[in-house]
Structure 1
C-alpha cells in the first residue's frame, strides 16, 4: 500500500469540522513530555452530549482535550490495528536502498535534537572493509590513503563512516525526511500512540557519548521503555574509563548502563566500545566496564564490539581483557588488528605486529614496513 494512500485513509477516520481549540503557549518538547502520561486522564468534564459520545476533558492548565470517542479510527479500530497503520506510514522511498531502512542517528547539537538516516550499506558490516581498501591502494599505488585513514580513525566506528561524512559535508535532505511531525500534530489523542510507534519501529543509533547520556540519563523521555532496537558507538575519552581502573563506584558510563537496564523489551542491542583516539595501541578496562552489561535483558541479538585483542602487558590494575570463555548474554565481536596508521603527519604507513619473548612473558610491538625502526608499546615499562 502506498504511503500516500495510508495517510489519506488515516485522515478519513477523523470527524470533519472539529472546532479549533486554544493551544497552550508552552509548546516545548519538555512541556509535552511532562504532560504525555496525564493527558488521557479525565480530571473535570466540561460537558457531554446526551448520547455520551463526545467527551471533553480539561487539563490542569484549562486547555480543552477531546477524547475523540466519536472518531471511527479510535472507537472502531483496536490499538493493534492502529499500530499497524502507523507502521505503514513510516515506510519511506529510500528504505530499500540502505542496509537498515529504519535506522536513525540521534544527535544533540546546537541546543536541540536532530535525527538523520543511517546510510550504511550491507558491505559495511565487514569490520575489515576499510583496511582491505587500503591494501588495494598500497599494492597498486593508486588512491588516497589519507582519506581512508581518516575513515579508519573515525569515532563513528568502522560501520557508520558514510553517515559521518554525510553530516560533515553537503547531503541530500530528502533522504532524511520523515512523517514524524505531521503525524504527531494530527491531534493530542493520537500523539502518544504515534510517538510509541516511532520508538518501537525504528532503530536508534548514538555515535557520541554526550548525546546518549543526555537522552537516557540527563533528560530521559517517558517513551524510552518503548525502544526496541538500539545501537551505541561509544568512543570514550580516558577520563570516562578512569573510574573503572581506580575502582570508583560513580561513573557516567555506569549511569548509562543503569538507564539501559530499565528498557524491559529490547529486541536488538549493539554496543561498540573504544577509546577516543582509536590509535594503534589502545586498550580499555574490558572486564570492569562490561560487568553491568550482563544484567541487561535483550530478547534477540545482543552484540558487544570491542577493540582488537592484542597481547599487551599493561602495568595498570583492572585492565584485564574480557574472558572469551566466560558465559555472557552478549556476543563479543572484536575489530581486526590495525595494519595501517598515521605515525607521522601526512603519511600513512603499513605495519605488522611482531612478538618478542623474554623469559615467560611475551610482548608485542609495531614493526614498520618501510623502515627498520619499531614503535614501542606504551603499556610496557620495559621497552624492547
Structure 2
C-alpha cells in the first residue's frame, strides 16, 4: 500500500489505534447487522448520500494542518525513477479503448533540442551507417520532436514498473482524504497530452471538478488543417476553440507548453498563428508559457489570420520554432536530404525544395505561392 512509503513517524496518523482482530467462525453473521447499521448512518430518509465522515478522532486530520498533509502527500509521489528522466513527474495521459491510461514520460534532457532527430540523420547520411527510415518515422511522429521515445515505448512495450504510481491506493484510503489526494496529484505532476481526442475528452467532454488544480501542462497537438479552418473563418462551432476555452478555466497554471502543428508534419506546412495567439492571449500562466510552432517559411497567404507571429511583442507567451526540415520521404522507402532555396520576385519571396540526390527543385505545392 502507498501509505507504507510514508515515514514511520507519519504512518500512525493515517489509522491510529488499528489492531488486528481475529475472525470468529460465525463472523459472516456478526457482520451483517453492522453493514446495515453503517448503511443507515450514511443515508437519509430520501436516500441521498451524506458527506464524508470528518473523523475527529484521527490524529492525521485533527492535529495536522492541511499544509503539513500536503507535504506528506508530496513525499508519497516521489518515484524511484524520477532522477533518470528530464520531466521529474511527467505523466502521459491518453484515452484508449474506453479507459484512461497514464504512463511515465521517458524523455531525456537532450530531447529538448528540437533538431536532435535531424542531427542523428546527418550523422547517418555522412557515414552511411544507420537506419534513416527509422529516424524518419520519428521525425514525422505526431507525438512531436520531444516525446518520440515515449511513443515508441507505448508501441513496443517497456518496463511496467516505471509506470507504477501510488495514486489509486492513496485515493482509496478514505473519503475524507480523497479530495486532498486528487488535488495533490494534479498540483504535483506535469500532465502531457499527445493527441487532441484525449485532451478534448479530459478538458471539455467529461471534465473533472478538480481540473482547476492542474499546475503543469504539456500539449502536443498535431491537427489536420480543417480543424484550424473554423478559427480562420470565425465559425461558431469548433472543437479546437472549445479546448482553448476550457484551458482558460484552469486558473492557477504554473507552466504550460503548447506544441501545434499540421497532422502530416510535412515540409510545407503552416498554421493560423495569428488566430491561435488570439485564442491563447487570455490564458493565465504564472511562470513559464511556451508556444512551439512549425518552422517559418516565406509562404504567401491572403487571410490575415494566417500571418506569422514573428515581430509581435504583445504576446503573453514565448514563441519557439522547430527548425526547417532537411530530410523527408518523398518516395516510398527512400529518405532524401534536401535544402531550401528562396526566389524573390518583386516584393514577394517564394520557397523551393532542392533535392540533393536528383538535383531537382520542388515548388511550393500551395497554389497561392505559385508564380
Shift of 1:7: 6.1
Query: Which shifted more, 309-318 or 324-333?
Result: 309-318
Query: Which shifted more, 344-353 or 313-322?
Result: 313-322
Partner of 1:324: 311
Match of 2:295 among 289, 300, 308: 308
Shift of 1:290: 2.1
Shift of 1:360: 2.4
Structure 2 residue 133 is the aligned partner of structure 1 residue 146: yes
CA RMSD, 1 decimal: 2.4
Match of 1:113 among 87, 100, 121: 100
Structure 2 residue 248 is the aligned partner of structure 1 residue 261: yes
Q: Gapped runs of 5+ residues in structure 1?
A: 24-44, 47-55
Q: Is the 8 A contact 2:4 2:11 kept in 1?
A: no
Q: Is the 8 A contact 1:3 1:88 kept in 2?
A: no
Partner of 2:109: 122
**Alpha-carbon distance in structure 2 between the residues aligned to 1:67 and 1:18:** 24
Q: Is the 8 A contact 1:22 1:63 kept in 2?
A: no
For each residue in 1:208-244, what CA deviation from the matched residue of structure 2 results, as whole angstroms up to 9, or x when unmatched? Answer: 0000011001110000000000000000112211112
Q: Secondary structure at the match of 2:124?
A: helix
Equivalence map 1:1-384=2 (5 Å):
4-6=4-6, 9-13=9-13, 14-15=15-16, 16=18, 46=41, 61-62=48-49, 65-315=52-302, 318-381=305-368, 383=370
**Alpha-carbon distance in structure 1 between the residues aligned to 2:102 and 2:9:** 27
Q: Secondary structure at the match of 1:233?
A: strand
Change (3 A) 1:321 1:63: same
Shift of 1:8: 5.0
Shift of 1:251: 1.2
**Alpha-carbon distance in structure 1 between the residues aligned to 2:160 and 2:325:** 35
Change (3 A) 1:241 1:5: closer
Q: Secondary structure at the match of 2:305?
A: coil
Q: Secondary structure at the match of 1:96?
A: helix
Change (3 A) 1:258 1:18: farther
TM-score w.r.t. length of structure 1 = 0.87
Q: Is the 8 A contact 1:206 1:212 kept in 2?
A: yes
Q: Secondary structure at the match of 2:315?
A: coil
Q: Is the 8 A contact 2:70 2:184 kept in 1?
A: yes
For each residue in 1:289-346, what CA deviation from the matched residue of structure 2 results, as whole angstroms up to 9, or x when unmatched? Answer: 2212011110000000000001111355632112333311100000000000000000
Q: Secondary structure at the match of 1:189?
A: coil
**Alpha-carbon distance in structure 2 between the residues aligned to 1:292 and 1:365:** 32
**Alpha-carbon distance in structure 2 between the residues aligned to 1:294 and 1:315:** 23
Q: Gapped runs of 5+ residues in structure 2?
A: 22-30
Change (3 A) 1:288 1:225: same
Q: Secondary structure at the match of 1:147?
A: helix
Partner of 1:42: none
Q: Is the 8 A contact 1:315 1:380 kept in 2?
A: no
Change (3 A) 1:335 1:282: same
TM-score w.r.t. length of structure 2 = 0.90
Q: Secondary structure at the match of 2:281?
A: helix
Shift of 1:65: 4.1
How many residues matched?
353
Change (3 A) 1:73 1:153: same
